[in-house]
Amino acid sequence: MNSLFKALNDETRRKIIELLKERDMNAGEISDQFNISKPSISHHLDILKRADLITSEKKGQFVEYSLNTTILEDLLNWILTLKN
């Protein structure tokens, strides 16, 4: 859960998640949505990946990223137990 909370604790990363909710995107497309350098976005993607919130697949010279929501089950359950 530690890496999950860490990954979510950043506005840019949460926006990336929301973008990937709509459709898969490659690193450049994601980067285009922010006024942040590509290496920084790459770093954010890495943190999201380590938290298992996204997956990546190399497609030619591009790297396509997808959202993985299954990991959010844990978070959902944690929150739900607090509310009971």
Partner DNA sequence: TAGTTATTTAGATAAATATCTAAATATTAT
Partner DNA sequence: ATAATATTTAGATATTTATCTAAATAACTA
Among 61, 70, 81, 84, binds DNA (CB under 7 A): 61
What count of other Cβ atoms lies within 10 Å of the Cβ of residue 19? 17
* Interface residue with DNA, options 4, 16, 17, 44 (CB under 7 A): 44
Work out what residue 23 binds among a second copy, DNA, none; the CB cut-off runs from 5 to 8 Å by kind.
none
The CA-CA-CA angle for residues 34, 6, 75, to 5°, reads: 110
Residue numbers at the binding site for a second copy (CB under 8 A)? 1-2, 5-6, 8-11, 14, 17-18, 21, 67, 69, 72, 75-76, 79-83
